[in-house]
Structure 1
Amino acid sequence: MAFLDIDALVGLFPGQGGYRKGALASFWDEGDPVLRGVLAEIDEVALRVLGTDIGSQIFGPAAAIPEGPELFQLAVYTVSVATYELLRVREVEFGLLVGHSMGEFAALVAGGALTVAQGAEMLCHRIAATAGTSGGMLSLSCDVRRVEQILDLAAEPHVVVAVVNGRSQVVVSGPEQGLARIGAVADALGLPAVRLPAPAPFHNDLMSGVRTEVVKRLGRVRCAPTRTPVYSPILGRCYRGDDDLVDILGMHLVTPVRFDTTITRLHEAGARVFMEVGAGRTLTGLVKAAHPQVVILPALTEPAAVDTEDTDEPVDVPSPQPSTTDEEVMAQLRAIYAAALDYPEDVLTADAHLEAELGVDSVKRIQLLGRVGRHFGLEPSAVNGIADHETLGDIAGQVIASLEASGGR
């Protein structure tokens, strides 16, 4: 990779988990013409290919978390593309664009290789082709060598390393039974494991049939050369003018993502300034964790898009007592999460969705579960037992059940 100017801004486009409820809502409420124009293009494609739109689900008075992980992906794409367009009219210029997994669709649109409609069409056909696929993805809080040892120990040949985000977060994908076995091994080793809201075992040879169907559906899309370089963590290089995007984006389904290596290569090439083009700060958090001296710039500041740094400072909350009541457990959980996320406690209602509404991505969820486990004195198996729960109320219920089972209340 050619050396980057130290002042060049690198735009990072999030993947599967990169949506937050309320993202860009203020622009929608104000009738921003850029956002409305992007939504019109995407909704036209979504209605034609999927039989539903995305705009009415994530904007307006009926806005909610999109139904199903498939439309969650379209919401991620919509927010990223719209954010980029809003930045562009504000004359924000990028020296390099990087997409994480399905975030490459939005990055290629921002880079000029695809139009908004073309990117939406490719993603919608991928979503349609994935429908009915079994399996999923599991995030493990350890390094890739440890994960490979776990895979060898579990002897599940169809579970593979799908994504390496950094030294302490690796995602595996595979069939349901295999993921359950990996989760059990991680549990026995005391390693937090979180099931991700992915509708299929992405970045795995199990997706070969879907890859064939995607390529068949898309045929040959005529794309333009990128006006801004787009680096692919899957290809390990920038896209070139002679690349067959249909074939490459189909190949993504069966090829692992090495975001950790990407971060290293970008830093070695001189990248020092980063911005996450979408909701949240998951990717910039990974960059900052690897290279604390880099500069992270916010994209579009909105109250609903607030995220937090990944810190692990002690939380000042009351110590649990043997007679802890249900209300006290919930109060202590709210205090832990409020202090870690820098949210007022009244925002942390029992039914608030941690990821989609509060911006707690899988990395942060693992960190917070560790705090919860230490605070309440839970065994690792009990901590892993609450890893898949999406609301504070559900987590409180599991903590209470664990305390009762261990005689801790």
Structure 2
Amino acid sequence: MEMDTSTSRIPDHPSGRWRTVHLFPGQGDFSVGALVRAVRADASMRTAAEQVFEAIDGVAGERGLRPLGPWLLGPTPPTARELAADAVGAAQLALFGVSMTVHHALCRAHGEPLAVVGVSFGEIAALTAAGVLTLDDGARAAHDLARVLSSCPGGLTLLSCPERTARDVIDGAGTQDVVVAVVNDDRSVVVAGSVAELARVEKTAAETKVTALRLRLPFTSHHPALQAESEAFAAAVRAYDRAEARFPVHSAVAGRAYTVGDDLPRRLADCLVRPARVPDVLHQVALCEPDVVFEAGTGSALASSARAVLSRHPTLVRAPLAEPGALPMTFPR
């Protein structure tokens, strides 16, 4: 029988804190509204957000962007459309800031996590959370990646099917450049390619009763054709100091935890050219036997994948900013 990880009881610990893992998502599931509701509902979230965005806004100013903290946390926050239409990098800095906000609020409630998982863009936040990058340099890397992605034409489409079916759909469409970009779980795959060829894949998906949804991201990623862009991003990250991680950082692209011997700028840049496979690293962090796995973002797509993948593990999975009743960060036992 499969265990319902959304309602599993958390064991009591003498310390009163839980053993946690934090999941840092990519860019396809971001909501300004979820952040606004969270900071208005929970004082710990508000405090963490103000502190995180104060640091990020120093980088925003250095890069010629408007301060994000007053905009996102003020009385008239932007819509998702307004944020996306702002200067290149504003949306990515906002997502990075929210991920770091959730991480800091969770650490105050439960202490540092046993491990973290980074998925695509979320690897920058995961490495920052573990202390490999400073908060300032993590924000700089997020903006660096945004600038690189702005020169990566194409798109990303979510297919609601297993990877094998997704590959059959791609083959059936007869496309030349569409590839599997992200495997979320056994029912959700993201494919990447040119806009024209993604349209052919979506048409074939509809003909074969596979649900297809074009993500609202104006670029492609996880595509082998982006080698030059990958090199440019690696060169940008190489300029920043790096420290040893305080806890394991699992990469959905590398398929494992990073080690001290890894060339981290190169590994981060792999996110542009190699696929991410989320189930592999979720199974790895399950071996840490966490009490709770938290999604450190505004959405719940990664938490949904974690529930599907970890259905046989006695682990609670929560998306604090997206799920009703998930705030405050501490829940009654």
Q: TM-score normalised by the shorter chain: which range applies?
A: 0.7 to 0.9
1:58 aligns with 2:75: no
Say what the alpha-carbon RMSD is for the aligned residues. Answer: 2.6
Equivalent position to 2:56, from 32, 36, 42: 42
User: How much has 1:71 moved relative to structure 2?
Assistant: 3.1
TM-score scaled to structure 1, two decimals? 0.67
Question: Sequence identity, in percent?
Answer: 29
User: How much has 1:176 moved relative to structure 2?
Assistant: 0.7
What secondary structure does 1:129 align onto? helix
Q: Distance in 2 between matches of 1:61 and 1:153?
A: 50
Q: Which residue of 2 aligns with 1:261?
A: 280
Equivalent position to 2:132, from 113, 134, 146: 113
User: How much has 1:191 moved relative to structure 2?
Assistant: 1.3
User: How much has 1:137 moved relative to structure 2?
Assistant: 0.1
Query: In 2, are the aligned partners of 1:174 and 1:206 still within 8 Å (CA)?
Result: no
One-letter amino acid of the structure 2 residue matched with residue 12 of structure 1: L
One-letter amino acid of the structure 2 residue matched with residue 67 of structure 1: A
What secondary structure does 1:171 align onto? strand
Q: Which residue of 2 aligns with 1:67?
A: 84
Between 1:33-42 and 1:162-171, the stretch displaced more is 33-42
One-letter amino acid of the structure 2 residue matched with residue 250 of structure 1: A
Q: Distance in 1 between matches of 2:184 and 2:264?
A: 24
What secondary structure does 2:32 align onto? coil
Q: Which residue of 1 aligns with 2:249?
A: 230
Query: In 1, are the aligned partners of 2:161 and 2:186 still within 8 Å (CA)?
Result: yes
After TM superposition, the structure 1 = structure 2 runs for residues 312-323 of structure 1, keeping only pairs within 5 Å, are: none
Q: Distance in 1 between matches of 2:44 and 2:249?
A: 32
User: How much has 1:147 moved relative to structure 2?
Assistant: 1.0
Q: Which has the higher contact order (CA 8 A, sep 6+)?
A: 2
Q: Which residue of 1 aligns with 2:206?
A: 187
Q: Which residue of 2 aligns with 1:9?
A: 20
Q: 1:212/1:291 Cα in 2 relative to 1: closer, same or farther (>3 Å)?
A: closer
User: How much has 1:14 moved relative to structure 2?
Assistant: 1.6
What secondary structure does 2:254 align onto? coil
Q: Which residue of 2 aligns with 1:391?
A: none
User: How much has 1:126 moved relative to structure 2?
Assistant: 1.1
Q: Which residue of 2 aligns with 1:131?
A: 150
Q: Distance in 2 between matches of 1:86 and 1:241?
A: 27
Which deviations, in whole Å up to 9, do the C-alpha atoms of 1:278-308 show, x marking residues without a partner?
22322222111233353325475xxxx3436
Q: Is there any run of 5+ residues in structure 1 with no aligned partner, and where?
A: 1-5, 310-409
Q: Which residue of 2 aligns with 1:217?
A: 236
User: How much has 1:269 moved relative to structure 2?
Assistant: 6.0
Q: Distance in 1 between matches of 2:69 and 2:206?
A: 40
User: How much has 1:167 moved relative to structure 2?
Assistant: 1.0
What secondary structure does 1:203 align onto? coil
1:207 aligns with 2:221: no
User: How much has 1:103 moved relative to structure 2?
Assistant: 0.8
After TM superposition, the structure 1 = structure 2 runs for residues 1-400 of structure 1, keeping only pairs within 5 Å, are: 8-22=19-33, 23=35, 24-26=38-40, 32-64=46-78, 65=80, 66-68=83-85, 70-267=89-286, 270-271=289-290, 273-293=292-312, 294-296=314-316, 298=318, 305-307=321-323
Q: Distance in 1 between matches of 2:170 and 2:319?
A: 38
Q: 1:273/1:21 Cα in 2 relative to 1: closer, same or farther (>3 Å)?
A: same
Query: In 1, are the aligned partners of 2:89 and 2:142 still within 8 Å (CA)?
Result: no
Which deviations, in whole Å up to 9, do the C-alpha atoms of 1:161-187 show, x marking residues without a partner?
000011111100001111011011111
> How many pairs were matched up?
300
User: How much has 1:245 moved relative to structure 2?
Assistant: 2.1
TM-score scaled to structure 2, two decimals? 0.81
Query: In 2, are the aligned partners of 1:56 and 1:62 still within 8 Å (CA)?
Result: no
